Amino acid sequence: MNKKTVKDVNVKGKTVLVRVDFNVPIKDGVITDATRIEGAVPTIRYLSNNGARVVLCSHLGRPKGEFNPKYTLKPAAEKLSEYLGKKVGFAADVIGAEAKAAKAALKDGDIVLLENLRFHKEEEANDKDFCKALSEGIDMYVNDAFGTAHRAHASTAGVSQYGFVKTAVAGFLIEKELAVMGGALETPKRPFVAILGGAKVSDKIGVINNLLEKVDALIIGGAMAYTFMKAQGRSVGSSLCENDKIELAAELIKKAEIKKVKFLLPVDNKIADAFANDANQKIAEGNIPDGWQGLDIGPKSVKLFSDAIKDAKTVIWNGPMGVFEFENFAAGTKAVAEALSKTDAVTIIGGGDSAAAVTQLGYAGKMTHISTGGGASLEFLEGLELPGVACLNDK
């Protein structure tokens, strides 16, 4: 990575603003999954142990620019205290009197978490005055929130972009995300296979385009596959299909041919006569008849995709193979997760639904890397520069 990290700067005695991703699910004031908090612990512990005065900031949910007790970050401060085994202070505002006092009172090694950034609409608007206020009393900025690194918000980019904080470096989480995914894209062990799924081709055109320059095989499942199947002249019944993207899908298939990238689509599908878990269902090979829709890949496709995974040395996966929220149509997604759990290849899970599937099935420990950012990892795989990384100091 060509960006400085916390290890490249002297943090002792410095007041350091650290953007973390504490956007955790909370039910009745209790955090139901603290993975994201845990993910930020190495950077926070390093800073604290090395004498920094740590000011943490994050967003939580979508409070729409107003204070809403439902979205307070207070439980996150308590959870972090448990992980670190030391007190983490909490300021009940972001740029107000409490935050100012809390920053000023910090001693070397102390940690305070500010209240939810998105209680201010200026955060997402990347408002200059808000960036200035957030930077008050701050000597150094650390971004460790990969999940929001694709956004140019005040706390993810603005404070450094506008020059309010001159020293801006990456935390360990961002460093790891970029090292693993960047490594796979630039110097993959081959064969390099990418698996894409999910609802829409239109969301992933950039990713497909970029991956076709890098991979040896591209596997497409989920509803996305039906637009490609139609582009090949196959009928897809009433499956989700983007008719205005069929031409583009044909061009992408052509590009794969030219680049000699193996392009794998489902050869069979689990189809239903309605969009429901308990709809009538059967397996259709090839075409999907009228009145039926594909909601998952079929067993032959599972075998085809699993074999490709078995032969690979690097695999990147983003997006489910079917409507995995319906138990009866989750088999394809589960099978891909299982195939990934069994290979010795470098396995990278691109956040979102695929990360959730892998974790729920208990395979998380078997993967090389599970990205903490769905949107951010997609933009990275698309080859775009992430604003939350671009704003950091070069090495």
Q: Which of 294, 351, 352, 388 is catalytic?
A: 352
- The piece of 43-51, 199-207, 251-259, 284-292 that touches ligand AMP (CB under 6 A) is 199-207
86 is a catalytic site residue: no
- The piece of 57-65, 123-131, 207-215, 317-325 that touches ligand AMP (CB under 6 A) is 317-325
Nearer Cβ to ligand AMP (6/207): 207
375 is a catalytic site residue: yes
Indicate which single residue of 132, 200, 300, 303 sits in contact with ligand AMP (rule: CB under 6 A).
200
CA atoms lying within 13 Å on the CB side of residue 387:
17
How far apart CA 226 and CA 20 sit, in angstroms, is: 38
Any contact of residue 351 with ligand AMP (CB under 6 A)?
Answer: no
Amino acid at 108: D
Any contact of residue 240 with ligand AMP (CB under 6 A)?
Answer: yes
Spatial contact of 109 and 339, defined as CB atoms under 8 Å apart: no
Q: Which of 4, 200, 255, 259 is catalytic?
A: 200
Give me the residue whose beta carbon is nearest to ligand AMP: 198
Spatial contact of 179 and 156, defined as CB atoms under 8 Å apart: no
Provide, rounded to whole angstroms, the least separation between the CB of residue 207 and ligand AMP.
11
Strand pairing report for 262-264 and 217-220 = parallel
Provide, rounded to whole angstroms, the least separation between the CB of residue 374 and ligand AMP.
8
Spatial contact of 90 and 112, defined as CB atoms under 8 Å apart: yes
Any contact of residue 216 with ligand AMP (CB under 6 A)?
Answer: no
How far apart CA 185 and CA 354 sit, in angstroms, is: 19
How far apart CA 328 and CA 315 sit, in angstroms, is: 26
Nearer Cβ to ligand AMP (170/288): 288
Nearer Cβ to ligand AMP (278/325): 325
DSSP E strand stretches across 20-110: 26-27, 30-31, 53-57, 89-90
DSSP string of 230-262? HHTT--BTTS---GGGHHHHHHHHHHHHHTT-E
Q: Which of 36, 176, 214, 334 is catalytic?
A: 36
Any contact of residue 284 with ligand AMP (CB under 6 A)?
Answer: no
Sign of CA dihedral 242, 248, 253, 259: negative
353: tokens are 């639904």
Indicate which single residue of 199, 246, 274, 384 sits in contact with ligand AMP (rule: CB under 6 A).
199
Any contact of residue 229 with ligand AMP (CB under 6 A)?
Answer: no
Closest CA to 91 of 100, 81, 82, 83: 100
Any contact of residue 386 with ligand AMP (CB under 6 A)?
Answer: no
How far apart CA 384 and CA 150 sit, in angstroms, is: 9
Provide, rounded to whole angstroms, the least separation between the CB of residue 318 and ligand AMP.
7
Nearer Cβ to ligand AMP (294/373): 294
332 is a catalytic site residue: no
Nearer Cβ to ligand AMP (226/363): 226
Q: Is 172 exposed, middle or buried (0-12, 13-18, 19+ CB in 10 A)?
A: buried
Provide, rounded to whole angstroms, the least separation between the CB of residue 300 and ligand AMP.
16
Interacting residues toward ligand AMP by CB under 6 A: 198-200, 203, 222-223, 240, 294-295, 319-320, 322-323, 325, 352-353
> Catalytic site residues?
36, 200, 352, 375
